[in-house]
Structure 1
Amino acid sequence: MMVKYISFMIILGVSLLFTSCVYHFDLDEAEGIPKLVVYSYPGSGDTTVVCFSRSLPVTGKGEIVSGLTGTDVRLEVNGTPVGLLWTDKALPGVPAKSYYTVQRYEEGDRIRLTASAEGLETVSSVTTIPAPFPLNSVHMERKPSDPGTLQFQINFTDKASTVNYYAVTVKERTKYWRNGDSRVYYDEEYTAYMDWNDEPLLKVSAGLDEILIGDYTYYEQLYIWSDEKIQGKNYTLRLNKTYISDYETSIQGEVYTNRKQYKVCLYSLSEEFYHYLKSMSEQVNNKLGESELAPVRPTYTNVENGFGLVGGCRMMQTEWMDGVKE
């Protein structure tokens, strides 16, 4: 199946950017001092974006403002400085009020980011670019033992010489045709919730939360795993969802044909990125913490003296695939 590298998806750019106000702190240590927050995901595409904001401690007032200007920032690749540009307006793949550079990376490149802003402590962060996702094939079929289930089978071969971290998410699109008209009338796209009961790599024990509350939920439907149990092996990851065949809908006397399509997005993550996403999932599942029956779990950060994430990532995705026919 044809696969291609693309710019990092908005789900990881925008959604993670707006989590910048979530962090763990100690009231005795924070003393109301704001910190520099940085998010950057080098390796996710040809363009590296760096977004800054100023944190708002619990003792402070006001709102989180993204796109902090007047920041002195330095990006280095294997010790060599890389020039960064600033944009006030949004560009393709680049949000407004951010720094960016067009830079391709190789596996193992070491990225160091340092930044300072007036009134805030200088921050620094280091990450490493992982190898591309080692995909062999993606296959969809109706589960033989349960025809009402559509199963995605993702075959890959893990690299034995390194510790590797991965993630997958599935996009779902519904397209509508007016009967008698070959043109697509309307389509909608969203991230699909997947069932991983057939996938041991994704089964996570949430401890007491799991006993008292129920199933584990992955943050933003990003299903993450490490190669701890499959290091160096060929493996097929299995994800399920309810099978929906093409169907017809009548709206105000017009008949429309509805068809499902799917796209599988695959990520190879740095260790830092993996731990960040893991901490976000733990927060989503910390229902006891929300009820003050357990400590609130901290958000992982690899930004020294600040908050946020600088995480290496490689991403690929399939083309849109039509659902399996009956």
Structure 2
Amino acid sequence: MIKRYIGMKDRIYNDIWMRLGILMNWGLCLMFSLLFLSSCKDDFDVDKLQDTPRLVVYCFPTEGDTTLIAVTRSFPVASFKGDIKVQSQQTVNARIIYKVNDVEYPVKRIENLQEARLFSTNTSETYLSRFVGQYYVVGRQKAGDNIDVQVSADGYSSVSASTYIPNRVNIQMGEVRFDEKSSDADSYSRVDKIAATFQDDASTQDYYSVMVKLRQMEGTNRDSLSWVTRAIELSTVGEPLLNKKTKLNDDFGFDDYTFFGNSYIFDDRTINGLSYTLHLEALSAYMHAGEYDDRGTWDKVFGYDYIVELYKMTPEYYRFLKSINDAQSNDWADAGLMQVAPTYSNVKGGFGIVAGYNASISSRHFD
């Protein structure tokens, strides 16, 4: 039931809602600015949307028995007044129909902080408050299921979206080499090099995201210790599937490509049907070296974990993340040399994303 997520899947579960929190605080502002202030190839009138608030829906179905749904609203750029951060966090009294293979599942609302605690091991009231007023679905889901979502609310046009849950692709962590020179000749950072292998399905066109996480004991003394897990930034030059570094950007002094939330997306265009080993260079060697803070000291006592998570995602999920990556990495547009593309959405009549995924985890403990 809901409590099943407090444990093995909590790392993934919290990460999805960390992203939702970021999207609701920052990403929505970016998304609507891009949608309203740039040209768009979609079949709707951008000028008309500037004066029309729309429902915004975020939902990421996966295997399990509980699915969260975040519902908020857009704000017309032309007439908006006030604090966008505050108003974008306001909840919407929504009516939601959620179907799995054409069977309707019950939708409930998170009413208070006490109920929100069922969804996370994070005890921060500020963090938990993001859940209050949002929605969740109770019902078993598995790979291959088709998901349909319809959302309506007074004063807004109804919106809808569909997705499915892809099959899981197992990831296996291999050799880990510590405190080595980065493959990026322009970087002086030391990296931990992690090999992770998976088997791609030859019969389908597949989309992935990989994350590397470091789990450490943190605290100033033994009475304040707690395990903390964080997503780690990667140097991507040494991995062909992730490397976006270009000589042209270097020549113009533009920054490297940025992956949203340290979630590194790629597709199987060049590896279709192959067993492939990712070469991941984690920019975290200094974090357990004991030189800068107490973390290295506690690592010697408790050890630490490296975690590799491989997400197989629907094309819609991939396009959504890619559109955010492209937008925040587009120094050419910032310089006025290129148009900014809109953030991808598959929500008909509104904005946001409804996109399925499936995740596998491989971890190793180091003393």
Which TM-score band (shorter chain)? 0.7 to 0.9
**Helix, strand or coil: the match of 1:272?**
helix
Q: How many residues align?
A: 314
Cα distance in 1, alignment partners of residues 105 and 157 from structure 2:
22
Q: Report sequence identity in percent.
A: 29
CA contact (8 A) 1:210 1:216 kept: no
Q: 1:226 aligns with which of 241, 251, 267?
A: 267
Unaligned runs of 5+ in 2: 1-6, 38-45, 121-130, 183-189
Give the TM-score of the pair, scaled to structure 2: 0.75
Within a 5 Å distance, the mapping from 1:172-321 to structure 2 comes to 172-175=214-217, 185=225, 188-204=228-244, 209=249, 211-212=251-252, 213-241=254-282, 243-244=285-286, 246-247=289-290, 256-259=297-300, 260-319=304-363, 321=365
Within a 5 Å distance, the mapping from 1:1-326 to structure 2 comes to 6-7=9-10, 8-16=12-20, 17-18=23-24, 19-21=27-29, 22-23=31-32, 24-25=35-36, 28-43=47-62, 45-59=64-78, 60-62=80-82, 63=84, 64-66=87-89, 68-89=91-112, 90-93=116-119, 95-135=131-171, 137-142=172-177, 149-175=191-217, 185=225, 188-204=228-244, 209=249, 211-212=251-252, 213-241=254-282, 243-244=285-286, 246-247=289-290, 256-259=297-300, 260-319=304-363, 321-322=365-366
**Helix, strand or coil: the match of 1:20?**
helix
Cα distance in 2, alignment partners of residues 145 and 168 from structure 1:
21
Cα 1:211–1:222 change in 2 (3 A) is farther
Cα distance in 2, alignment partners of residues 103 and 210 from structure 1:
50
* Deviation (angstroms), 1:110: 1.1
Cα distance in 1, alignment partners of residues 19 and 312 from structure 2:
18
Q: Which amino acid aligns with 1:192?
A: I
CA contact (8 A) 1:169 1:192 kept: yes
* Deviation (angstroms), 1:301: 0.4
Please tell me the root mean square deviation across aligned C-alpha atoms, in Å: 3.1
* Deviation (angstroms), 1:160: 1.5
Q: Which amino acid aligns with 2:139?
A: Q
Give the TM-score of the pair, scaled to structure 1: 0.84
Cα distance in 1, alignment partners of residues 59 and 343 from structure 2:
16
By percentage of residues, which structure has more helix? 2
* Deviation (angstroms), 1:92: 2.4
* Deviation (angstroms), 1:58: 0.6
CA contact (8 A) 2:163 2:355 kept: yes
Unaligned runs of 5+ in 1: none
Equivalent position of 2:123 in the other structure: none
**Helix, strand or coil: the match of 1:282?**
helix
Cα distance in 1, alignment partners of residues 73 and 246 from structure 2:
32
* Deviation (angstroms), 1:115: 1.0
Farther-moved stretch of structure 1 (87-96 vs 97-106): 87-96
Q: Which amino acid aligns with 1:6?
A: K
* Deviation (angstroms), 1:229: 1.1
By percentage of residues, which structure has more strand? 1
